[in-house]
């Protein structure tokens, strides 16, 4: 068969059609500079702890990037850096036996953290940052890996902005609003859905069928897990021109063979 791959096994011949590439979206890939906040609230290393606290309280923020005179990122000071303070009576007190184990350097660092009067004394120097021309995928990966909510943005070694999870959500809303619905017929909708399904390795395309009438999609076939149902629904809903989706998928439990009929007239959208 033209365009198909044929693999022979003892007793059977398998024909497989290569998976088509996912359709390319018209939206250009976004970089950090497209979504970052340019007005960075920062503080100098030689500012006092009192100044840092007042600035955080007045701006209703939980942390400040520390930037030196050249505009380079020197560190970050957060609420957590100010918890162990002499003024609060919360400086670290280790048991005598633990003090024997703690190095002089560690004890000196704890003392500086509790009694230091300048931002440079209490800030965290090891700070993650992201270049302004990095793709948003790098931002998300870094935030997930290190469980952080914001990153300073740098260009040529200087801080030029900050990108937060909220900035990513704003970009998401903007992209959704800018998507223009396409005028298309039922045949084109069905073709687009089938192509999108074939592009997904998890989709059970051999057991699925799709019909479209006046923009209303009916999905038929069998699935072996509920996440497949959700994924198929999302593909249909995201196809331009679709008004609603009717789910007729039958769930078959793969281990016992139990059949669960499709929900009656389950319409989504």
Polymer length of the chain = 269
> pLDDT: is 100 or 81 the higher one?
81
Contact 77, 124 (CB under 8 A): yes
For CATH 3.30.1340.30, the residue range(s) in the chain are: 182-268
**Statement: residue 16 has pLDDT above 50:** no
**Statement: residue 64 has pLDDT above 80:** yes
For 90-115, write each residue's pLDDT tens digit: 666 666 566 666 677 867 877 787 88
The sign of the dihedral angle between the CA atoms of 124, 56, 160, 168 is positive
Q: Of all residues in the chain, what percent carry a pLDDT higher than 90?
A: 36
- 23-27, 85-89, 217-221: least confidently modelled range: 23-27
Mean pLDDT value across residues 196-208: 90
For CATH 3.10.580.10, the residue range(s) in the chain are: 32-176
For 209-246, write each residue's pLDDT tens digit: 999 999 999 998 889 888 999 999 999 998 988 999 99
CATH number attached to the domain at 182-268: 3.30.1340.30
Task: Give pLDDT, residue 17.
Answer: 44
pLDDT range class, residue 15, cuts 50, 70, 90: very low
In this prediction the pTM is: 0.58
Mean pLDDT value across residues 154-159: 89
Contact 33, 132 (CB under 8 A): yes
| Residue 183, helix vs strand vs coil | coil
Mean pLDDT value across residues 149-174: 87
A 10 A CB-CB count for 162 gives 21
Q: Which of the following CATH numbers is that of domain 32-176: 3.40.50.150, 3.10.580.10, 3.40.50.2000, 3.30.565.10?
A: 3.10.580.10
Q: Would you list the DSSP string of 229-256?
A: HHHHHHHHHTSTT--EEEEEEEEE-TTT
Task: Give pLDDT, residue 173.
Answer: 77
Contact 118, 51 (CB under 8 A): no
């Amino acid at each position: 068969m033209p365009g198909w791959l044929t693999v022979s096994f003892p007793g059977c011949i398998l024909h497989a059609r290569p998976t088509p590439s996912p359709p390319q979206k018209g939206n250009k890939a976004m970089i950090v500079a497209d979504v970052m906040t340019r007005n960075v609230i920062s503080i100098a290393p030689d500012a006092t702890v009192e100044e840092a606290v007042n600035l955080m309280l007045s701006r209703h923020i939980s942390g400040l990037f520390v930037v030196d005179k050249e505009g380079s990122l020197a560190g970050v000071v957060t609420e957590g850096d100010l918890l162990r303070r002499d003024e609060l009576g919360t400086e670290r007190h280790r048991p005598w036996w633990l003090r024997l184990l703690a190095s002089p350097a560690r004890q000196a660092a704890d003392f500086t953290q509790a009694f230091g009067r300048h931002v440079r004394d209490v800030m965290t120097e090891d700070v993650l940052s992201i270049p302004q021309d990095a793709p948003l995928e790098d931002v998300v990966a870094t935030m997930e890996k290190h469980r952080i909510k914001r990153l300073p943005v740098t260009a040529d070694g200087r801080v030029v902005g900050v990108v937060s999870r909220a900035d990513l959500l704003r970009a998401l809303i903007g992209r959704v609003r800018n998507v223009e619905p396409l005028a298309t017929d039922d045949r084109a909708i069905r073709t687009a859905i089938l192509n999108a399904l074939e592009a997904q390795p998890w989709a059970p395309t051999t057991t699925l069928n799709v019909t479209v009438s006046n923009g209303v999609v009916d999905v038929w076939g069998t699935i072996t897990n509920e996440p497949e149902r959700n994924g198929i629904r999302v593909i249909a809903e995201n196809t331009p021109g679709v008004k609603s989706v009717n789910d007729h998928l039958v769930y078959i439990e793969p281990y016992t063979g139990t059949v669960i009929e499709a929900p009656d007239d389950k319409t989504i959208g």
